[in-house]
A and B are shown apart, each in its own frame.
Chain A
Amino acid sequence: MIFLITSLLVSIIAASTPLMLAATGELIAEKAGVLNLGVEGMMLVGAVTGFVVTHLTGSTTLGIFAAILAGAGMALIFSVLTLTVLANQIATGLALTLFGKGFSSLLGRNYVGVAGPTLPKLDIPVLSTIPFFGPVLFGHDALIYLSFAILIGTAWFLYRSHAGLILRAVGDSHAAAHALGYPVIRIRYAATLFGGGMAGLAGVYMSLSYSPMWAEDMVAGRGWIALALVVFAAWRPFWLFVGAYLFGGIMYLSLYVQGLGIPVPSALVSALPYLGTILVLVLISRDRRRIRMNQPASLGQSFHATA
């Protein structure tokens, strides 16, 4: 029984990590007032770049850095278009996803069906041999720990640091922040690039650890889930964690239940994670006052300094 729960938890952690990584990045971008719908495309480009670089150099570390840079590079395209030449954020974000899909297929053309290296597990000596707690807490690869470290760091940054306060101010009222002398556009650039880098990291987690290979469109909609999680969690880091693990958990458990022989149509199983996550997150975010308090007031609006 203990063994069963252990392996269930380990599998759920693996399924949830890409969602949490990408959603954390998008949270920062949205808190600064930038709505980037290109998460899916940035994840795909990150996944393929990380896989290819790891394959060429043999180093997963280099692959991870390359993926972060690739994701940030995609975000830079988005930033130039929306922040400098003031294109519409929603249209540009959608275009970025479509571009990312095609571009990642092009980059990965010669790497489909190539056996790739896998991210090593950190297996901390002594600790990872403790029954139950060992495998659940200490038997993962580095990116899983990193996903928690970054989420906690993000929460601290947003609500406990001066810089975070400025970032939230830019997202809530860019005109006021500008009047106070803060460089609105530069802060938004930084936040969007961070979001892109995190999407790249989420992508490379998929191509090096979750299903270690490159396949066209392998992110399979997880970028959209990450976007939805940010909104449903009402821009609060803790609920982001809950949402990501809820979705990952239902995704895995719905397959698990089918294996137990309970007759569920496989089409319904595919829809369950979406239904379940929407239901629970609607329940936790039904407090309108809290949403209004947390939603960045200038979200999705272009900023043009008039004075």
Chain B
Amino acid sequence: MDRRQFHKILGAGLISASLPSLLRPAFADGPLQVGFVYLGPVGDFGWTYQHNVGCQQAQAHFGDKVKTTYVENVPESPDSEHVIADLAAKGNKLIFTTSFGYMNYTLKVAKQYPDVFFEHCTGYMRDKNVSTYNIRFYEGRFVQGVIAGKLTKSGLVGYIGSIPVPEVVQGMNAFLLGMRSVNPTAKLKFIMINSWYDPGKEGDATKALIDQGCDIITQHTDSPTPLQTAKGRGVKAFGEATDMTKFAPDTQLTADVNDWGGYYIKRIQDVLDGKWASTDTWGGFDSGMLSMAAFANMPDDVKALAGQAVADIRSGKNKVFVGPLTDQSGKLQLPAGQVMDDGTLSGLQWLVEGVEGKLS
């Protein structure tokens, strides 16, 4: 709280002591306070950056009716509990906690503030006043796979993984399925760097994959270094979470772009209308939460094919994880014609046949 706010509240307190009847309507008409808790700096140009873009879109959309506040660089530790509780204590009525590690702390604070609404990103535990929301990132990976399958000459594509959690496993499988839909013999190789953000290691992993014959690189880590390293080696690559064109304009084929703004606007509107309810949202292309950056550095027919892949997923014609799917050991995991249900998908821990290397 800055000094001006403090004086405002102090002033309000004095007035409220003398004129209680005048004050209450003034408070009710005041802006709805909305808080955001961020993992990284708003300038990380990846995960947190995109959340903050969403926050700014919501602020611009509602103008005076809403007042947004954010706290950045919040570690996924007990410290985050204090930050969340502090936001609730300062009068925020809707609080978005934007990383998986805040799950337990969000739930704990939510119990202490039953009339504040909480939204936890990428988690799976809900409560009366706690919703969860996430993006079907794998849909974008499928489209990337289609592009890579068309463009690869060596038939080998490299995937820089972070940590083998279900989200990354979904991404690798969807990428391979997209690739195989246009190029039945193409293979995917991966390296897990055991971190979401380590520019030096991301660059080294890129070099290692290129040295091993990969001629297209995609990344599930947050810095633009893989893209820049690929540029140095004359190999094409995909950006992550945000449009990274400016780092390597002649290298980026496209990028998954996370659009949180629409969701934030919708949920804030729900609170304003008194309609907010605890839900679980897992949105893809059709929800507007995921989009692709402009297709570039590829022939027009590949652009058209990629555009068609986006359209098919958006319309529901392509459900991505459709049987028959066999795992690396050749075991049939999903029979022909069946679509994988969200429960199985969100706990996915096996790799589709055609991905090289083992999860460990």
Contacts and interface: CB of A to CB of B under 8 A. Distances in A.
Interface stretch (B37-45, B117-125, B340-348): B37-45
Contacts of A295: none
B360 A261 contact: no
B223 interface: yes
B198 interface: yes
Nearest to A251: B204
Interface in B202-230: 202-205, 207-212, 223-225, 228-229
Nearest to B159: A259
Contact of B207 (A11, A111, A263, A265): A11
A270 B195 CA distance: 9
A4 interface: yes
Given A113-B43, A211-B225, A266-B164, A256 B211 contact: yes
B199 A215 contact: yes
A213 interface: yes
Interface stretch (B58-66, B185-193, B301-309): B185-193
Contacts of A265: 360
Give chain A's interface secondary structure class: helix
A267 B199 contact: no
A213 B223 contact: yes
A258 interface: yes
A296 to B, nearest CB: 31
A187 interface: no
Interface string B34-74: 00000001011110010000000000000000000000000
A267 B223 CA distance: 20
A269 interface: yes
B197 interface: yes
A2 interface: no
B151 interface: no
Interface string A1-16: 0001001100100010
A260 B46 CA distance: 29
B278 interface: no
Interface string A42-83: 000000000000000000000000000000000000000000
B189 A112 contact: no
B209 A259 contact: yes
A270 B204 CA distance: 13
Give chain B's interface secondary structure class: mixed
Contacts of B158: 259
B199 A218 contact: yes
B211 A4 contact: yes
Nearest to B208: A256
B138 to A, nearest CB: 20
Given A115-B246, A213-B225, A259-B191, A11 B163 contact: no
Contacts of A261: 189, 356-358
A259 B192 contact: no
A231 B113 CA distance: 54
A122 interface: no
B81 to A, nearest CB: 23
Interface string A188-223: 000000000000000000100011110110101010
A110 interface: yes
B194 interface: yes
B100 interface: no
Contacts of A15: 200, 204
A267 B163 CA distance: 9
A220 B196 CA distance: 13
Contact of B163 (A111, A220, A264, A266): A266
B228 to A, nearest CB: 6
B288 to A, nearest CB: 24
Contacts of B267: none
Given A11-B208, A211-B202, A263 B194 contact: no
Contacts of B203: 210-211
Contacts of A260: 212, 357
A264 B193 contact: no
B225 A255 contact: no
A256 B169 CA distance: 20
A213 B194 CA distance: 21
A259 B212 contact: yes
A252 interface: yes
A259 B209 CA distance: 6
A284 B269 CA distance: 67
A261 B18 CA distance: 74
B191 A213 contact: no
Nearest to A108: B43
B43 A255 contact: no
Contacts of B357: 258-263
A15 B193 CA distance: 15
Interface in A227-279: 251-252, 255-256, 258-267, 269-270
13 contacts: A7-B211, A15-B200, A112-B41, A112-B45, A255-B193, A258-B191, A263-B360, A265-B360, A266-B164, A266-B360, A267-B194, A269-B194, A270-B195
Interface of B: 41, 43-46, 49, 158, 161, 163-164, 189-195, 197-205, 207-212, 223-225, 228-229, 232, 246-247, 356-360
Given A251-B201, A252-B207, A259-B209, 8 more contacts: A15-B200, A113-B45, A206-B200, A258-B192, A260-B357, A269-B192, A270-B194, A270-B195
Interface of A: 4, 7-8, 11, 15, 105, 109-113, 115, 118, 206, 210-213, 215-216, 218, 220, 222, 251-252, 255-256, 258-267, 269-270
List the 6 closest A-B pairs by CB distance, nearest first.
Answer: A113-B45, A112-B43, A266-B192, A211-B199, A263-B358, A266-B194
